[in-house]
Amino acid sequence: MTARARGLWVQATGEGPLVVLVHGAMDRASSMLRVRRALEGECRVVRYDRRGYARSLELGPATSLDQQVDDLAAVVGSDGAAVVGHSLGGVICLALAERSPEQVVAVVAYEAPMMWEPWWPAGTAGATALASGSRRDGGDGDPGDAAEAFMRRMLGDARWSRLPAPVRAERRAEGPTLLAELRTVHRPAAAPYRPERLTVPVVAAFGSETQPQHRRAAEELARRAPRGVLERIDGAGHGAHLTHPQAFAGLVRRSLSLASERR
């Protein structure tokens, strides 16, 4: 079934406990397809293209993180769901869990960044994209350059260059969205969520082959969330939903198990 919520592209398949998969920056719902297939027959899985990406591109960038959280709330509805976020998608899931815990039975946050923390390093893919999207005089640069810089950091120059020209153009068109959402989480006035105020189970996960800051963010989240647990996917880097979909699906099962223990 394909439906619309707030104009977003949304797809729901299967029956059972509701699970909503939330992709990260410069990504799309299609990247979660392998995880959805790994959960087939176990739960009702919803994927959606976040505002300003892929089939939701025409909506344009979110004006704030709150708007992204509003979008997720609309996708979840009133049934209550395990919300599963990769990277920046994890930040959105955690923000919803703090704001509307009645909508969330559990959270999986895979390598959700903490760009607002003083220990978060400079020179990350996000920081590179922000620099590429700004002129030296402080004005706005080309958002497409920011998107390309981000993708080159994530994929490598060779893989980026091998992408078909239409795909590269599509990704560059998502530059305004990338810049808008990075600016909402890079040194904000207030953190998007407070781990200590999360009342639902939180599975904070990272890959054994990831960057140190992603591991630290997962460890901090698991330590500070009252019902937080730390999980590791061996052999995985930042893109575990693509490279290790079965293990990523295992994180979802873990969250549903933790949610059922409280009921």
- Residue 247 shares a structural domain with residue 137: no
Token representation of residue 223: 């330590």
- Residue 110 shares a structural domain with residue 219: yes
- Residue 15 shares a structural domain with residue 109: yes
pLDDT of residue 140: 58
Which residues constitute the domain of residue 83? 2-115+188-262
Domain presence at residue 101: yes
Coil, helix or strand at residue 205: strand
- Residue 74 shares a structural domain with residue 34: yes
- Residue 142 shares a structural domain with residue 258: no
User: Which of 185, 203, 220 is at the close of a domain?
Assistant: 185
**What pTM was estimated for this model as a whole?**
0.91
- Residue 162 shares a structural domain with residue 254: no
Which residues of the chain are modeled with pLDDT < 70? Answer: 1-4, 134-140, 262-263
- Residue 180 shares a structural domain with residue 206: no
DSSP code of residue 28:
-
Length, in residues, of the chain: 263
Domain presence at residue 120: no
- Residue 196 shares a structural domain with residue 163: no
- Give the chain's domain count: 2
pLDDT of residue 70: 94
- Residue 194 shares a structural domain with residue 83: yes
pLDDT of residue 46: 97
pLDDT of residue 138: 47
Predicted confidence (pLDDT) per residue in 180-216, tens digit? 888 888 777 789 999 999 999 999 999 999 999 999 9
- Residue 257 shares a structural domain with residue 234: yes
208 CB-near residues (< 8 Å, 6+ apart): 232, 233, 234, 235, 236
- Residue 225 shares a structural domain with residue 244: yes
